[in-house]
Amino acid sequence: MGPPFRVERLAATECPQQLIYLALHNDYSEDFNPTTTLDEAECGKIVVDRLLKGNRGHWGVLEHPHLSLILQADHNTIMQLRTHRVGVSFDVQSMRYSGTRIQKVATGEIPPEQVFYTRPVGDYHDRDGKRYSWTEADQQQALEWAKRSAVRYHQLRQQGVVEEDARGALVTSYFQNAVVTGNARSWLHLLDVRLKGNAQDEVRELMKLVALQVQRWIPETYAWYKEHRESKAILAP
């Protein structure tokens, strides 16, 4: 069972593969072509055949369609994702204005696991392959530390300390929302760098959910990407 992360689509360019095709087609056409009679799936197949196969490298036309997603993950995973972006816009939930849920943990109105993330019990390894176990006792201890940090946050707020100072008392495993927008090329690049095998488990799990949204959006293009590039740590040209 993976982390309780969430990814949903907010908005997207309609018929994105038609748009990519039109950009590609107008690159070499003598005529003015603002429309096409080809359907979305056919355009996707042409994009694969004429652009992606053979690693020809002209990925600029993938920058025209855009996809906006809303994500929910722990703060550390969101920050890791935001660090490795290229041409992607992030709006991340501010802990300066949204600490009510933290105080509810402190007062016992909601359980800490509803607001703070801990790794599921299981066996893990670091980037060098060293293995370790994360036990139920480890998980409960992490939740206790989270609860204590919420209590301290609540105490500071009760004393009149502003949110931006009080948040310094928190462990960094609290859940955050993020609205993320990128073009098709940028999303594939982000998948390249954060879905690879040596990426942190949490960010890989989050990117699996992102990948499902990208796949639904540009299915023919993504089918080629999945077969030839997914999880292979090849950076998008």
Domain ranges of the chain: 6-90+180-228, 96-169
Band of pLDDT at residue 197, cut at 50, 70 and 90: confident
What tens digit of pLDDT does each residue of 172-191 get?
999 999 999 999 999 999 99
Name residue 195's amino acid.
L
**Cα 226 from Cα 62, distance rounded (Å):** 16
Half-sphere exposure of 226 (CA within 13 A, CB side): 12
Residue 58 has a pLDDT of: 80
Band of pLDDT at residue 231, cut at 50, 70 and 90: confident
Nearest to 170 by CA among 98, 82, 62, 225: 98
- 49 vs 127, residue with greater confidence: 49
Residue 129 has a pLDDT of: 81
**Cα 216 from Cα 62, distance rounded (Å):** 16
- CATH of range 6-90+180-228; options 3.30.200.20, 1.20.1560.10, 3.30.1360.170, 3.40.30.10: 3.30.1360.170
What tens digit of pLDDT does each residue of 78-128 get?
999 988 777 899 999 999 999 999 999 999 999 999 999 999 999 988 878
Is pTM beyond 0.85? Reply is: yes
Given a cut of 90, is residue 55 above it in pLDDT? Answer: no
